[in-house]
């Protein structure tokens, strides 16, 4: 009887933790880029698939329940490449995803925006771009439409710029602007701020001290630039995610090749509400490490995800928990004998973390979607 009760207790405990590792895909390359917790307690994951769909690559959207079981999946695209880099649930219960398309583009790649209903059925899709490459990296819903950031090479002067595009609820362009620039530039993440405006992080070479520098841009509610900040030195620095913190400031993650012992390190930077740096920290080892997503945690600290090549000969998904000053409390790696990479992260309702990326270690083909749900301590057991 004691043994039976113990087994039941262990089963209930495992179910309550709801941890899992998934490898989803076909015989070719399939890579997840973005994950978000949904209103029903599940998760929506977006990326690209070469295994399924109509073209070489198609955007791929997968809906999971809270246990990691697949509820549905959809592909979007034509005969050429389409990739999704970000997905958000919309106020009507549907989804908005952004990336790029090469099918019937105006030249090179065009920004690809797809709106779906709650079951992933396409409501509409549209594209934006000029004669060269234009790519959407992140999208947020506003009260009257959507705001997109990414990059454009179609301005006519052979340079690359951070691109900011406002569209209405049907995808019709309301305004657009370019900022930063140089041989290489991109807006990689956009988030809403408490004052009704927005904050963007990415990188730019035009304003930098050397190679690319982290580029932080604050917009007001109308999309006007309130201020901009540069973080970096002589080597390469890139920002991949920014979120406003409870004190009104911002937390940034990305990579730096200026501060650490390795070729690149996962970078975490805390600023005040004007973008002035309060502290910066690096995490990693002697090889490549980078951060792709960050959140403030309920205890006031931070959780950052990305990848590391400093713990093995290949890349592993990487999760770092810090206190409110950026001091590391713990870190975890996930993966196998080959490359395993983490791109996006979401906070789960139970205090755990959901990571998404790709795996070459556990695959049906070349790369598969790699989705990891941990407990609050970063464990999956």
Q: Which residues contact 220 (CB under 8 A, 6 or more apart)?
A: 195, 196, 197, 226
- The stretches of the chain forming alpha helices (DSSP H) are 2-17
What six digits make up the tokens of 258?
């200026």
Mean pLDDT for the chain overall: 93
| Domain annotation covers residue 379 | no
Q: Which residue in the block uniquely carries the two structure tokens 């080959």?
A: 338
**Three-state secondary-structure class, residue 17:** helix
Long-range pairs for 205-208 at CB < 8 Å and ≥24 separation? 205/181, 206/159, 206/180, 206/181, 206/182, 207/180, 207/182, 208/182, 208/232
- Say if 11 falls within a structural domain: no
**Tokens in use for 342?**
């983490």
pLDDT of residue 216: 98
Residue segments in the chain with a per-residue pLDDT below the cut of 70: 1-17, 207-210, 261-262
Beta strands in 257-339 (DSSP E): 265-271, 277-283, 289-296, 302-308, 316-322, 328-334
Tell me whether residue 71 is in a domain. yes
Cβ neighbors of 13 (< 8 A, separation 6 or more) are none
Does residue 8 fall inside a structural domain? no
Q: Quickly count: other Cβ atoms within 10 Å of residue 65's Cβ.
A: 14
CA distance 97 to 84: 6
Domain of residue 149: give its range: 21-373
DSSP code of 161?
E
Rounded Cα–Cα distance for residues 41 and 66 (Å): 6
For residue 91, the SS3 value is coil
**Contacts by residues 144-149 (CB-CB < 8 Å, ≥ 24 positions apart):** 144/168, 144/169, 145/169, 145/174, 146/96, 146/113, 146/171, 147/190, 147/198, 147/223, 148/98, 148/111, 148/113, 148/190, 149/187, 149/188, 149/189, 149/190, 149/200, 149/202
Instruction: Identify the pLDDT of residue 17.
Output: 59
The one-character DSSP state at 248 is S
Residue 317 within a domain: yes
Longest dimension (CA), the chain: 77
pLDDT of residue 156: 77
Q: Alpha carbon of 106 to those of 57, 103, 130, 134, 162: distances in Å?
A: 18, 9, 6, 10, 19
Residue 201 domain-assigned (yes or no): yes
380, part of any domain: no
| CA dist., res. 228 & res. 230, Å (int) | 7
**Within-domain flag for 12:** no
Structural domain count of the chain: 1
For residue 210, the model assigns a pLDDT of: 66
Assigned token pair, 363: 């695959």
Alpha carbons 115 and 125: distance in angstroms, whole number: 6
Q: What is the CATH number of the domain that holds 259?
A: 2.130.10.10
User: In this predicted structure, what is the pLDDT of residue 209?
Assistant: 59
SS3 16: helix
């Amino acid at each position: 009887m004691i043994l039976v009760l113990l087994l039941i207790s262990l089963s209930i405990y495992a179910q309550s933790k709801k941890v899992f590792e998934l490898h989803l895909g076909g015989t070719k390359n399939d890579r997840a880029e973005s994950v978000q917790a949904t209103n029903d307690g599940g998760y929506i994951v977006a990326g690209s698939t070469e295994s399924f769909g109509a073209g070489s690559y198609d955007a791929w959207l997968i809906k999971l329940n809270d246990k990691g079981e697949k509820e549905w999946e959809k592909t979007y695209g034509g005969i050429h490449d389409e990739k999704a880099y970000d997905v958000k649930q919309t106020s009507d219960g549907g989804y908005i995803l952004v990336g790029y398309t090469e099918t019937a583009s105006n030249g090179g790649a065009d920004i690809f925006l797809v709106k779906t209903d709650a079951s992933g059925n396409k409501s509409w899709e549209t594209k934006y771009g000029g004669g060269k490459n234009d790519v959407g990296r992140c999208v947020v819903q506003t009260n009257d439409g959507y705001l997109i950031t990414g990059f454009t090479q179609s301005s006519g002067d052979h340079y690359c710029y951070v691109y900011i595009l406002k569209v209405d609820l049907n995808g019709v362009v309301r305004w657009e602007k370019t900022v930063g620039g140089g041989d290489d530039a991109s807006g990689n993440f956009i988030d809403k701020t408490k004052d009704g405006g927005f904050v963007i992080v990415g990188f730019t070479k035009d304003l930098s001290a050397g190679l690319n520098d982290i580029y932080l841009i604050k917009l007001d509610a109308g999309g006007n630039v309130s201020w901009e900040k540069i973080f970096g030195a002589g080597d390469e620095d890139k920002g991949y995610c920014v979120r406003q913190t409870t004190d009104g400031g911002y937390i940034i993650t990305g990579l730096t090749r200026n501060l650490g012992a390795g070729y690149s390190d996962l970078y975490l930077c805390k600023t005040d509400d004007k973008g002035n740096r309060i502290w910066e920290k690096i995490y990693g080892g002697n090889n490549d490490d980078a951060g792709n997503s960050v959140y403030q945690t309920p205890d006031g600290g931070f959780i950052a995800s990305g990848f590391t090549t400093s713990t093995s000969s290949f890349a592993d998904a990487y999760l770092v928990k810090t206190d409110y000053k950026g001091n590391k409390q713990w870190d975890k790696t996930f993966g196998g004998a080959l490359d395993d990479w983490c791109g996006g992260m979401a906070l789960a309702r139970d205090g755990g973390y959901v990571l998404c990326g790709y795996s070459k270690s556990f695959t049906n083909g070349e790369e598969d979607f790699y989705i990891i749900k941990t407990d609050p301590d970063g464990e999956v057991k």
